[in-house]
Amino acid sequence: MNRIPNMPFPVFILIAGCLLMILAPTSTSAQCPLIGAFGFEGINSVEGLPFQAKQVMTKVTTGNDGAKRTEVMKSHVFRDTKGRVRIERFYDGTEDPLEGVPWQIIIHDNCGTSVSLLPSQQTAKIQKMLTHLKRSDLPHCKEFDPNQLPQPGAKGKFEILGHRMLDGVEIMGWRTTYYSSIEAMSSGAPPVEITERWCSTTLDAEMDTFILSQNPKMEIRIVVTDLKRIEPDPALFEIPEGYKITVADESAKPNVRANTVGGCPRPMFPILTVSSADNSSAASPRTSGSSSHFCRDLV
């Protein structure tokens, strides 16, 4: 089982987000010639389904001495009718960051281009996504086939959590639990990893998430609120005037190599995305291998 590296919260967010921009399976909407549609942090570039929401990610780590450290990242998420995605991140190292000027803004179009804005520096860095990777045309969030449920392996179990409503939108959930050994699972010992995810098939987007890891000891919870199916201001998807614009070197392609379990890629950090597009593989987060240098290019 891949383990979660202990890294600073903002760095973790950047790496996780970048991995998903590279490898996320996507739907048939908002496609571009020879590329296909893109997904970004659990949100597909689906045309005609605009929405906006607030998100709070809380990360609690426990040191060897038992001391706990809590960090919080707040986000404002937008997707317009064209399928473009904007995520505003608020982070200051505290447990309650102010939602004033964002720490970082990511704008992702539906044709494989993202822009990283740093308002404090008034800089904008444009990054083209990789176009040679094979992408799925299936939805990001899809009901499970009861005859082909994910198989997490002998040391894990998979559960469907059913459906519930979030601000008038129905969402579906599932949970995957892993144990240190088959014996540990049968004896009732505590699990070493729990992943619970909720997503909306209507909006083709991920919503709430809960992850618990014992090595290192870490708990991550993502809660979505104020979900509204409205059209965002088009100006949100433009680079503000006065920003210094740079373009990342497209020739420096990252080494993307996925580690797969049961056919479902799993990353160095399981967060921010749902299972594989057809929901038929291991019920763990869909991810890839390490590509942190690509993420550094975005900031």
pLDDT in tens, 167-199: 999 999 999 999 999 999 999 899 999 999 999
**More confidently predicted of 48 and 34:** 48
Q: What is the pLDDT of residue 290?
A: 28
Residue 183 lies in a domain: yes
Which of 20, 36, 22, 44 has the alpha carbon at shortest distance from 199? Answer: 44
Domain CATH code at residue 248? 2.50.20.10
Dump pLDDT digits (tens) for 132-155: 445 556 677 889 998 999 999 999
* Contact by Cβ (8 Å): 221, 57: yes
Residue 44 lies in a domain: yes
Residue 251 lies in a domain: yes
Residue 159 lies in a domain: yes
Dihedral angle sign, alpha carbons of residues 191, 288, 201, 84 = positive
Residue 248 lies in a domain: yes
User: What is the C-alpha separation between 246 and 270, in angstroms, rounded?
Assistant: 30
Dump pLDDT digits (tens) for 251-267: 544 433 332 222 222 22
CA distances in angstroms from 218 to 20, 61, 74, listed in the order given? 21, 4, 18
Task: Report the predicted TM-score, pTM, of the whole model to 2 decimal places.
Answer: 0.73
Residue 2 lies in a domain: no
Tally the domains of the chain. 1
Give the domain extent around 95.
9-297
Residue 1 lies in a domain: no
